């Protein structure tokens, strides 16, 4: 699964692997995620 978003402070992106496993009559959910973000900045030059 891939998720991403953006807003006033910056952007975020996440890649997530989700695993479902049957165990003891139930379901076990495990996940592994890698997320990154970038802060926005702007430089205004006026003359």
DSSP state of 41: -
What mean pLDDT is predicted for residues 9-36? 94
pTM above 0.85, yes or no: no
Residue 47 domain flag: no
Residue 25 domain flag: yes
The token pair that represents 7 in the structure block: 């807003």
CB neighbours of 14 closer than 8 A, spacing ≥ 6? 2, 3, 4, 33, 34, 35, 36
The count of structural domains within the chain is 1
- Residue 14, judged by CB atoms within 10 A of its CB (0-12, 13-18, 19+), counts as middle
Residue 43 domain flag: no
Residue 6: pLDDT over 70: yes
Contact 33, 44 (CB under 8 A): no
What mean pLDDT is predicted for residues 19-29? 97
């Amino acid at each position: 699964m891939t998720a991403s978003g953006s807003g006033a402070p910056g952007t975020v992106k996440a890649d997530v692997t989700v695993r479902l496993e049957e165990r003891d009559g139930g379901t076990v959910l495990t996940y592994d995620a890698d997320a990154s973000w970038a802060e926005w900045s702007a430089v205004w030059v006026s003359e």
